[in-house]
């Protein structure tokens, strides 16, 4: 979920799969982000090992959006590879709409914080590998 107007369910839920994409979401990377949710890919910050990579600043997160930052149990998601700060499934380090507040602090150095969050680089190799892992393709 990018905002209250850009969302879908995680994975197939039966029946039609609805993706809500209002005006701010008609950007290639936002569409690709929501499509990965349809395919069953969760946010990077929902991973069970998130706290090894990110320090969540929950007090800076809007109360309405806090559920978007919950950690899923290890058995709730398929392990599809390493944590990827630059994944299309990463949220920005700074809270959207509140540029002076950090939603996360990185626990590892060497990453450009301004390029983290919903696809600065488009689909990363890790994003592609996750889809291949989930759907059985091991071809490059």
Find the catalytic residue in 34, 44, 70, 113.
34
What local confidence, expressed as pLDDT, does residue 88 receive?
Answer: 93
Read off the pLDDT band of 2 (50, 70, 90).
Answer: very low
Strands 54-56 and 104-106: antiparallel
Tell me: is residue 45 an annotated ligand-binding position: no
pTM > 0.85: no
CA dihedral for 31, 33, 36, 42, sign (positive or negative) = negative
- Does residue 34 have an active-site annotation? yes
C-alpha span between 108 and 128 (Å, rounded)? 23
Asked whether the CA dihedral 70, 122, 32, 79 is positive or negative, the reply is negative
């Amino acid at each position: 979920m990018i905002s209250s107007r850009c969302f879908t369910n995680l994975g197939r839920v039966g029946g039609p799969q609805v993706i809500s994409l209002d005006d701010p979401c008609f950007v290639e990377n936002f569409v690709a982000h929501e499509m990965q949710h349809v395919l069953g890919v969760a946010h990077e910050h929902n991973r069970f090992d998130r706290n090894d990579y990110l320090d969540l600043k929950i007090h800076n997160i809007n109360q309405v959006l806090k559920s978007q930052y919950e950690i899923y149990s290890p058995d709730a998601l398929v392990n599809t590879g390493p944590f990827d700060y630059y994944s299309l499934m990463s949220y920005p380090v700074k809270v959207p709409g509140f540029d002076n507040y950090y939603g996360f602090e990185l626990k590892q150095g060497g990453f450009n914080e301004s390029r983290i969050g919903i696809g600065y680089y488009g689909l990363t190799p890790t994003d592609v590998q996750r889809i291949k892992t989930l759907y059985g393709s091991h071809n490059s």
